[in-house]
Structure 1
Amino acid sequence: MLPVVFAFLRRYVPFITLPFAAVVGIIGYNLEGMLSDKYTPYQKSIEGKREDRLLEESLAKDVTKVDSLKEKKFVPRSVFEKNVSPSLQNTETK
């Protein structure tokens, strides 16, 4: 008798598990909807934050203080000073 039951289950397991999984999914979905907090606070986008930060940095700079073109501070002394992140640049000249 047991081999007949196993043969039946092996053949019809998709038809048995699909309704069972659907019932469990529906119950879980509704239970989560009742228990969870659906409120998500508004946050500004990353691009918006970056634009605000860059605007604040540009407004904080003194526009009257400009480097001399004769000193050529914009030309790197070695290949290692090319394409350096602004946060890693040394503002002092050696």
Structure 2
Amino acid sequence: MWPVLWTVVRTYAPYVTFPVAFVVGAVGYHLEWFIRGKDPQPVEEEKSISERREDRKLDELLGKDHTQVLSLKDKLEFAPKSVLNRNRPEKN
């Protein structure tokens, strides 16, 4: 008799456990909602890090004069001296 009972339980387990799990979940959801009370007012979402970075970069760009650019000779000063200035005479 026991093997037949275990076979029936194993065969119909999904049909029994799903409704039980659904009822337990629904009761838990409503119990939690009852304990918490009213929903809090939605908080305004703050800007993400990438949005704040974009805003900061735009603010920096607004304050610059884009017609004034460095010449190519001035840009060489930012390169490491050990590579590009090896054969150039020192500036006075």
Identify unmatched segments of 5+ residues in structure 2.
81-92
47-56 vs 68-77, which deviates more? 68-77
Q: 2:54 aligns with which of 36, 43, 51?
A: 51
Following superposition, the deviation at residue 24 of structure 1 comes to: 1.2
Following superposition, the deviation at residue 52 of structure 1 comes to: 1.8
Q: 2:44 aligns with which of 42, 45, 50?
A: 42
Q: What is aligned with 1:2? A: 2
Taking structure 2 as the reference length, what is the TM-score of the superposition? 0.54
Following superposition, the deviation at residue 57 of structure 1 comes to: 2.2
State how far apart, in whole Å, the 2-side matches of 1:75 and 1:33 are: 65
* Higher Cα radius of gyration: 2
The percent identity for this pair of structures is 34
1:22–1:70: structure 2 CA closer, same or farther, 3 Å change rule?
Answer: closer
Identify unmatched segments of 5+ residues in structure 1.
79-94
Following superposition, the deviation at residue 38 of structure 1 comes to: 4.8
Matches within 5 A, 1:16-31: 16-31=16-31
Matches within 5 A, 1:72-87: 72-73=74-75, 77=79
Q: CA RMSD in A?
A: 3.5
Following superposition, the deviation at residue 21 of structure 1 comes to: 0.8
State how far apart, in whole Å, the 2-side matches of 1:14 and 1:75 are: 74
State how far apart, in whole Å, the 2-side matches of 1:5 and 1:43 are: 56
User: Higher relative CO (CA 8 A, sep ≥ 6), structure 1 or 2?
Assistant: 2
Q: How many residues align?
A: 77
- Larger fraction in helix: 2
